[in-house]
Each structure stands twice: as C-alpha cells, then as structure tokens.
Structure 1
Amino acid sequence: MEKALLPKHRWYPEASLMHADGGNSGSTDWPGPVGLNTSSSSSALDAVGVLLWGSNHTMVVGYVDMTTNPITLGLVVRNATTLQVLGQWPAPANETLNLAYIELIAGDASDRVIVSSQQGRIYSLSISHCPGSAKFTMDRKIDLSLGDILSEGETLLNAMVDTDDNIWFTTGYINGTSGLTGGSTASPNSTTLGFVTPDNAIKRIHIAGQVVENGIAVSGTTSFIVMGPTDGINATGYLAAYRSDEPSNGGIDQVWKLPYSAGSTTKPGAFSRGSGSTPALLGDQFVAVTDNADGQINLIVAHQNTTTNQLACKVPLFMPGSVANDFSATVHFDGTLYSVMLINNYGAPQIFSGQGSTDINGSFNNKTMMPGGLTRVDVDTTGAACGVRWVSNITTTAVPILSTATGLLYVYSQDPGLALKGEYVWYLVAVSWDTGDVAWKVKMGSGGIFNDNWLSATLGPDGTFYQWVIGGLAMVKDFGSFY
C-alpha cells in the first residue's frame, strides 16, 4: 500500500464543494479503497452536480428531473448507506440552479447550503437532521436580478461565503452546458463580481471584456478569481485576488491582478475561452491555474499576497499542439513541497445532455481520440523552483479525488482498447500520488450509462469511492479494514 500523506491544509471557512474545500484542493483526509476485497456497485439516481457531506455524514446532492418542461432542479439529502431520500428542496419555479457550484458548511446544530441560480438569486438554506429525516429551511433569498446589479446579458454562476459571513458572487458562463441546465447559450461580454454582507448590503464591480468560466476560491475574506477574454486573437485573461474593504472605499479591494496568455481560441475538447481551471490554493502561499496559450499551455503559480513579482513560476504542460485543461488542479503540501496535479482533456467529447435522439451507447462515449494524460508539478516554498515530477498516460474527463489517508489519487477512466471496438468499459484507477504509477484498478461498469460525463468524484467517511455517471451513482468499496 502507498504511504499516507500529511493531512491537507485547512482553509476557512471550512466548506465542502466540488473540489473538496474552499481552496479547491481536490483532496480529503478520509480514506479511499486500497484495492483489497474491492467491490463495485451502482444506483440509478436522477442527480447532477456534486455530492457533498453533511455534519452527520449524510449526502447532500443536486437532482434533475428531465421529464418536466422546463427541467426541474433541486437539492436532496440522502442516507449514505441506503441512498434513501431524507429531505428535499425543489428550486422555485423557473429557477435554474448552478448545481456544480453548491457550497455546504457543516454545523453542530444544522448544516448550511449556499446555491445560486442562473436567474440571479442566491439561496441560503439550513438543513436540520433528525433520525430518518432531514428538513430544508430557506434562511435568505438574495435577488441580484433587480435593477442594475448585474449587467445586461450576464448570468449568475458562483456564490461562496467568507469568514465575515459575506457571500461572494460572480457572474459567468460555461460553454457547452446549456443543453443540460437550460441556461443561456450566449456568452456575455462582462463580469460582475462582489459580495453581499450579512445585513444584505451589496458591494460589486463590473469588469468589461472578461468572463468567469469556472469556480472561485475563498480563504478568509479574500476571493481568488480567474477570468477569460470575451474575444480576440492572442488575447489576455486575468487571475486576480479581491478582498472586502471599508465601505468608504467602495467595499471591494483588488489586492492584485495578474495577466496570462489566453491564446487565440477555445481549444478542441475544451469549454473555456481562457483558463479552464478553477483557482486552487497552495496552502496560504500560492494560487495555481492554467493559461490557454497557443501551442502549449502552462501552469501559472502566483503568490497569494501582494509582491513585487506576483508570478512565482510558470511550467509548460504536456506536449505542444495537443493540450487543453478544463479542470482545477489537485494540490497537496508534504511539509517541504507543494504538489500540483493537472489533467489534459484536449480533444474530449462534449457533455451529453440527455436530450434528443442520441444513442446512450453511441460514439460520444469514445475518448480514444484524446491524447490524455495526468502530470504532477512540484513547487518549493519559495516559488522559485517548479518542475514536473511525473507524467501518466491515463485519460479522463472526470474530476478526480485525492485521499491523504491512502496516498492515492482516484481517477475514473475507460478501457481504450475496447473503446476502439465500440465497447465502452469504465474503471476506477488508483494512481500513486508519489510516483504516478497505477497501483490498481477495478471495473465499474459497461455502456454509456457509466460514462462520467465530466462529473465529479468524491470519497465518503467510510472509505467508499463515489462517481457520478450518466446513469446515476457508481461506487467502489473495500470490504475489510486496511487502514
């Protein structure tokens, strides 16, 4: 078995999101399977978005009902063992929730969920737990669609809480997802970002010519946001840090703003015009994203705090001419080095919307046209020394998860040889965080219903691996105690 890693860094407020926490580390201190007495199973659930964990280890997940017109989205609490629904909150009529960017903050008496809608509302919900049931209560509804709070053509995307209980928000646009969510098909020409105070005062700024295309990171009272250009050849995007400030100064302080190369166009298989990566925080020292430079993209590592040289280091990734990245980095600190794992999704199929007459077992499942690859880059604590540690040829379009308890990165992938024959067989692949070698793999299922469809993985408190797939939820668990 792999050697356990140091526990992950804590960012505050402590929260649960798609990429695990407010720093988007993509890691958990819970164990995962180690490949001994391992068994896989699945359950057909009408779910979408992410799987988050409540204070009593119940699941909080998004769901979608594709049989209604328009489709209905909402949140449910499920028992982690039986998957029984314990409580449900359907979105108000004509509200399209941003289910990929839910935030959950676990509490002693109840849990708190923050979710936004594409129509411009932010909902703060509390979840109270009783034996065999859970209850959603709407504590706040913040309407940003009123007046000129948002600019014309903008769509609300992100909402996250900081340590002052401000709710940071950004508008944004993710290309290729409108068929699934029913959202806007037109890219906006600007971004609005800001925060709502506990007493409902709204602080905001408008940024022309730039669009948020991913999630954000929040640590303390600072938000880290990456934006891409709305148009232009050899264009520029920006990675920036913003902090809540005195009302007399407008309420928002731009701590720093770093330009990056956004290249000439969106790359094949990618969604984003600019950076495809949600900012990932490396402890309290650095923040990492990828650029979208023509030819070969780069890892960009910047200092979190203001310095004379905001850029700490820049590392070319994968092979020139066949590289794109639409995933947040998975990151860890071993006490000496920060490690940053990135995915190459160049040439990937687009999201399957489930609408129309497309065959669920059709050729959209074939990912062999992707060059694929994972790579780990190490960064020292000065930021001056950055270099590639290992490269793997594994292909994935799923959001992976790292367990510090097992030292394994859990990646969902398909058998490329069978895919060339039109047979789509899917595996959980356990990768050594230290070496990049495959430790073991286990079959998850066959056919299009087991396609990950760009969805995220997570680990549960009992060591179960969970992967959202088109057909529902696929799971892997060891039967025995190996930790």
Structure 2
Amino acid sequence: MSRMRRALVLALLLAGALAPVARADPILDPAPTTLPRATGAPATARALTATLAPQNPFMAPNPYNNLHDDTWMTDAYARTGPLGAGLQATSGAMPPALCGSLTFDAEGRIVSICPSSAQPVTARIIDPQTLAIRATYVLGDPNPAGPTAFQNFTGGGYFFLDRHDRIWSATKTRHLVVLAERENATKLVKVADYDLTRALAAGQRVTSALPDFHGRIWFVSKQGGKVGILDTTTRRTRVLALGEEIENSFAVDRDAVYIVSDRRMYRFSDRGGRPHVDWKMTYANSGIHKPGQVDAGSGTTPTIMKGGYVAITDNADPMQVVVYRTAPRLPRGQRRVVCQVPVFGKGVGATENSLIGSGRSLYVENNHGYQDPFGASAGALTTAGFARVDVDAGGRGCTRRWTNTDVRAPTVVPKLSTITGLIYTYQRVPAPDGEQPWFWTAIDARTGRTAFTRYAGSGLAFNNNYAGIALGPDGSAYLGVIGGVVRLKDAA
C-alpha cells in the first residue's frame, strides 16, 4: 500500500467513516529460531467441570471483562480455545507498549490499556482478525523509569470493562477515568473522571479498581496498602490504610472482597461505605524477594473457588499453594487454612500470576528467575514448572496431582479452557546461544503433559513481560507482547 493510500485510509478511520480493513504489519522477527516450529499433536477436547463465577451486574459479561476473566479471578473460560489442528501463529505490530490485559466488547473487539516506560499510556481498541488498531486514547505520561519499571502495573495494567463496554482505568495521577466507544468503535472519549487525590498521597498510585455487586468501586494502592471504596454517585471515598504493600489485583464475591498484601490475606466487606476487615491471616513468608516477583510477598491475585474457598500462593521457600475458608465466622474447631501445599522445590519456586481455578482444582505456574527484559540479564532462562493442586472432598486438605517440569513460562498469565481441557501458556525455551525463542504452549489440565507448542517469534519484541493470555469469542488465543499483539488459532 502506498504512503498516500495509507494516509487516506488513516484519515477515514479517524473520521469514523469506515471500519479498518488493512491487516496490521507483523511484528518483525529478524532472527527466527533454528528449533522446530511446532511440537506435539492436535489434542482431543476433554471438557472439565467449569467454575461459573457469578456475573457482576456492573461489569461486561464473563469471561471478557478483566485480566482474570471474572471477579472470582478464575482465569478460566467455559469457551473453546485452539486444539492444535493446523495451528496458525500471527502477530500485529504496534507502537511500543504492553497491552497486558485484553478484554472484549459486545462485538468481539479487543479492548486494552497499554502502559509503557517510554511512550504515553494509551487505551486501544484492536480488530481481533486483522490486529489493526481501530481507536486510541492517550491517558497520560509513560510509567516511571527505574530498575523496576518493567514491573510497574499502575496506570492501567489492571482495568475493567463495564456492562456498557466502557473502560474504567486508574491513572498515574490518582484519578479513575471512564472511556466510552464512539463512531463504531473507531473513537474513544472520556465520559467520567473521579479524583482520588484526597484519598491517596502523592506517591500512592492505584494498583487495581473493581466494582462490587452493588456498584461501589473498590480500589487498592501498592504504597501504604490503602483499601478504598468510591461511591460513584456521591463521589465520596472511604479509605483504610493497612501499612502493607498491595501489588496485585483482588477478587470480588457477592458479599465480600478478598485482598492479599505482602504479609497477609484479608476478607473485607462494605460497612456503610467503609472497608471493614472480616478476617485476616498472616501467611508464611521467607522474606526473600525472589527473581520474577515484584516484592517479598505473595505474587497472586486471590482466586475464589466453589465450596467456600479462596486461594493464593505464599512466599515461603519452597513456595506453597494456600487455601482458606471464606466464611466470616467458622464453626468451633474448624480452621481457616484448609491446606498449604509446597510446589516447585526450595530455592526454585516463585509466581507473579493468579492461580487458575476450576472445580476443586488449582493450577500454578513457576516464574522463578525472570529478569528485567531491558537489562543486562534479559536473556536469562526461568525455572521450569507448572503444577496442579486439588482441594480434597469436604475440605479435608489438598493433594498435588501433577507437576510439569518441562514448560518454562517466565511471566504470562495462563488461561484454561474447560471446553478443551487445555491450559494455554507462553514460554521461552532453551535454544542455541543467542536465540530467545517464544512458543505458544498447551498443557493437558488432567495429566500435566505438554500437548503441543507453536513458535511465535524471537527476541524482545515477542516477550510478554507479565501480560495475560485471552481466549477470544472466536476461539483464538491472544497475548500482548512488547512489539504488539500475537494470536494463535486453529486452521479454518
């Protein structure tokens, strides 16, 4: 396409005159891997018992409304995903940023916030077929520079899509803004702005904000560990300061909110617009800031399970999957902690991603060893590991069912399809000197065996750096990477 033609098409798009038809340019892969492009074989779908989280009435339909699919943070889809038949791995190049959380509007378009350490934080609407950008909205300045800039999730790393397909995103300036689609989703406009500066000090930025089932917005800050509730009608905020870091998102049930800090696990409820601690539990903590983790604490967003349970990983060494009973009060003799199950071994286990929850099963990924992708040790391999832990019938304890010691998934938020029975992850595999190949990977959730892999690309541009996989309405898998967005689908 000529430069003049491109300019004409861009002008028409900005005017909302037509939907984009041009396919995005692929992400450049100047040094493709010498390894086989695919391994394994097509899988046969084996459905699992799905945990159907309740639908939050103020959010877009599950499982397309936030990074972790629903407010129970299950990271599971009762939707299909690729089975491995004639796999097609494609990509769309975009201005440098990381679209870490991918949601889908009512028309199946990808909606994301894309933070960057070099470019302004930008909201994007992306065509799911062409991977072309349909609309953008600049939210603010780049994320702060520094040695941990690659682990800064503020300014939109966590956001949610509401029932009107509107983006609710925190900014680095301590505001919560609402963006709406216009002109056939070729334009984004700001329709609301909530000022949280009175509730948060200058250095305290919102990590995550989500609505409860009554429409009030809960938010948390990393610095100072503040937990707040915003009444969007009166604009009044009430805040409780824990004095502990909160660097993850949180889980929301019909009557409670579950938050993990770098020290404790909490259940909160709303008492007259104020956050109220129903219970709190200190978890095991080695005090080690493990490579791959943001701080010396739990790296997980809590996951709510059927049967009255909520789960995290702690920061013990070896790291453990910890399951709690959710009830505000327990019968005499019953303990809050159901189990603490070690995974991955001493000195080699860490995770910075939420557990996948399905039925009585939890799936945990090892991120130990991940380093700054822009630093001197960017090429370092992480420790392999994926494991499944089941809560025993009646909550009598837990059992580790399997451990996969082949898959090296540095930071991706993995996802489960309960229709295919496959876990979808994204790994950097060992390769000859100088190569940094990234592969889509599927794991059989029943057995833990690697089902298949498919090459995505090599080098920094294909690094996902904590971004999460999303399964789209068409059954494709999508993932934000530093160079844009990658897609995996079965052959038509």
Counterpart among 233, 237, 242 of residue 207 in structure 1: 242
Counterpart among 411, 414, 418 of residue 400 in structure 1: 414
Counterpart among 280, 283, 297 of residue 260 in structure 1: 283
Counterpart among 422, 434, 452 of residue 434 in structure 2: 422
Partner residue in 2 for 1:36 = 85
In structure 2, C-alpha distance between the alignment counterparts of 1:406 and 1:442, rounded to whole Å? 17
Of stretches 79-88 and 153-162 in structure 1, the one that deviates more from structure 2 is 79-88
Please list, as runs of the form range in 1=range in 2, the aligned pairs for 1:30-429 lying within 5 A after superposition.
Answer: 30-46=79-95, 47-48=97-98, 49-64=100-115, 71-92=119-140, 98-105=155-162, 107=163, 110-128=164-182, 130=184, 133-146=185-198, 149-151=199-201, 153-172=203-222, 188=223, 190-199=224-233, 200-208=235-243, 210-228=244-262, 237-246=263-272, 251-283=274-306, 285-293=308-316, 295-308=317-330, 309-333=335-359, 338-350=360-372, 352-353=373-374, 364-367=378-381, 370-393=382-405, 394-397=407-410, 398-416=412-430, 418-419=431-432, 421-429=433-441
CA contact (8 A) 1:117 1:157 kept: no
Q: Which amino acid aligns with 1:116?
A: A
Q: CA deviation at 1:168?
A: 0.3
Pick closer, same or farther for the CA change 1:423–1:94 going to 2, 3 Å.
closer
Partner residue in 2 for 1:11 = 54
What secondary structure sits across from 2:346 in the alignment? coil
TM-score (structure 1 length as normaliser): 0.83
In structure 2, C-alpha distance between the alignment counterparts of 1:197 and 1:424, rounded to whole Å? 47
In structure 1, C-alpha distance between the alignment counterparts of 2:463 and 2:422, rounded to whole Å? 22
Q: CA deviation at 1:127?
A: 2.8
TM-score (structure 2 length as normaliser): 0.81
Instruction: State the identity %.
Output: 27
CA contact (8 A) 1:12 1:162 kept: no
In structure 2, C-alpha distance between the alignment counterparts of 1:111 and 1:202, rounded to whole Å? 24
CA contact (8 A) 2:91 2:131 kept: no
CA contact (8 A) 1:104 1:113 kept: yes
CA contact (8 A) 1:366 1:424 kept: no
Q: CA deviation at 1:423?
A: 1.4
Q: CA deviation at 1:63?
A: 3.1
In structure 2, C-alpha distance between the alignment counterparts of 1:363 and 1:95, rounded to whole Å? 21
In structure 2, C-alpha distance between the alignment counterparts of 1:270 and 1:402, rounded to whole Å? 22
Q: Which amino acid aligns with 1:271?
A: V
Q: Which amino acid aligns with 1:122?
A: L
CA contact (8 A) 1:95 1:117 kept: no
In structure 2, C-alpha distance between the alignment counterparts of 1:115 and 1:280, rounded to whole Å? 22
CA contact (8 A) 2:113 2:124 kept: yes
Q: Deviations over 1:329-384 (max 9, x none)?
A: 01101xxxx1101112222223x35xxxx6xxx851331xx332000000135322
Ranges in structure 2 where 5+ consecutive residues have no aligned partner: 1-43, 145-153
Q: Indicate yes or no: 2:447 matched with 1:438.
A: no
Q: How many residues align?
A: 425
CA contact (8 A) 2:325 2:338 kept: yes
In structure 2, C-alpha distance between the alignment counterparts of 1:269 and 1:63, rounded to whole Å? 21
What secondary structure sits across from 2:395 in the alignment? coil
Of stretches 149-158 and 48-57 in structure 1, the one that deviates more from structure 2 is 149-158
